[in-house]
Chains A and B, each alone.
Chain A
């Protein structure tokens, strides 16, 4: 089956949101997705994009069929004070019925190539420890688990904590 990888365009926000929700459902956290198509449009295709996206598209069986978006990767550039630019891979997903065609590997190859061309030191990402198939996918390709190997833990301030921290101290 032929597929094509390309940069996402504003018209893709509906498919991007659909796939974001499919991935969240796979991670059993679908109810936590509050993002809208409007957010994706403003945040990804405005003057200062907060994310970038690669889309995987498949042509239907006959030439009159529409192209179908079956996979995506959402990434952005971040910064490590020790080594500089990093590519942060945020969401990475291929719809179940289209797995096994090499789309995931191809997306990752494309991102690695982009990281090298933009002189990024590495690619960083987060994986749930119970997502065995994804962990093995990444480890087979040379990824390291920094939480396990070096003791890095991920912490988070939610919206309420951010608001509280931003307020002047009453002490």
Chain B
């Protein structure tokens, strides 16, 4: 299947927001998604972006293969899959798109930016993702080094900020 990988631009934010919601459904945490298309536009495409995105696109003729009914935007002339959490429509799995996205990320941050490591988190029950990443050569830092991922937010953070 033909597909292309490219940097995300501000016009992609609608699709990125949609994919984030769909991935959150898969991870069973839809109630935790607060981000909007507007947030993504402001935070990712202003003078000092807080994130970067990489997009995988398939051409128009593959649109009808989406069969699972999730594609409802008839004005779209391309089908996009966003890389920041690597969500792929079921019918596009197994075509090498995930691997191509990871390869692009590795190029951009490795030879592009001189980074030495790529750190990320995965839910422990998400076996297909864990297997995919392990197959690409990553290590489980939580198991190997006992590192726990912690967070302070909401009321706890507000309380901490008090004099």
Is A66's beta carbon under 8 Å from chain B?
Answer: no
Query: Which residues of chain A come closer than 8 Å to B35, judged between CB atoms?
Result: 81-84
Q: Tell yes or no: A31 within 8 A of B by CB.
A: no
Q: Number of contact residues on A: which range applies? A: 35 or more
* Contact in complex: A154, B106 (CB < 8 Å): no
Establish whether residues B110 and A166, one from each chain, have CB atoms under 8 Å apart when the complex forms. yes
Asked if B156 is an interface residue, CB under 8 A from chain A, the answer is: yes
One of B3-11, B63-71, B141-149 contacting the partner: B141-149
Interface residues of B in 142-160 (CB under 8 A from A): 142-143, 145-160
B141 adjacent to A156 (CB under 8 Å): yes
The 8 A CB mask of B87-126 against A (1 = contact, 0 = none) is: 0000000001001001101110111000111111111110
Q: Which of A135, A142, A147 contacts B149 (CB 8 A)?
A: A147
A41 to chain B, nearest CB (A): 15
Within residues 121 to 146 of chain A, which ones have a CB less than 8 A from any CB in chain B?
A: 121-130, 135, 138, 141-146
The residue that A82 contacts in the complex, of B20, B103, B140, with Cβ under 8 A, is B20
Report A31-66 residues with CB < 8 Å from chain B CB.
none
Q: A79 to B119, alpha carbons, bound, how many Å?
A: 13
The segment from B26-34, B54-62, B72-80 found at the interface with A is B26-34
Query: CB within 8 A of A126: which of B125, B149, B152, B153?
Result: B149
Consensus secondary structure, chain A interface: mixed
**A153 touching B121, Cβ below 8 Å:** yes
Complex CA distance for A6 and B1, rounded to whole angstroms: 55
**A30 at interface (Cβ–Cβ under 8 A)?**
no
- Residues of B with C-beta under 8 A to A153: 121-124, 130, 140-143, 149
Residues of A within 8 A of B32 (CB): 82-83
> Does the CB pair B151–A146 fall under 8 Å?
yes
Option from A79, A113, A135, A144 in Cβ contact (under 8 Å) with B151: A144
Q: Bound complex: CA of A123 vs CA of B150, how far in Å?
A: 8
Interface residues of A (CB under 8 A from B): 77-79, 81-85, 108-109, 112-113, 115-116, 121-130, 135, 138, 141-148, 150-169
Q: Interface residues, chain B, CB within 8 Å of chain A?
A: 16, 20, 23-24, 29, 32-35, 39, 43-44, 50-51, 84-85, 96, 99, 102-103, 105-107, 109-111, 115-125, 130, 133, 136-143, 145-163
- Chosen A-B contacts, 26 in total, with CB atoms closer than 8 Å, are A79-B50, A81-B20, A82-B24, A82-B32, A85-B50, A109-B160, A122-B153, A123-B152, A123-B157, A125-B151, A141-B159, A142-B152, A143-B156, A153-B121, A154-B119, A154-B121, A155-B121, A156-B120, A157-B117, A157-B137, A159-B116, A161-B136, A161-B137, A162-B117, A164-B137, A169-B99
Known: A115-B157, A161-B138. 9 other contacts (CB 8 A): A77-B50, A122-B157, A123-B153, A128-B145, A128-B147, A150-B123, A154-B120, A155-B133, A157-B117
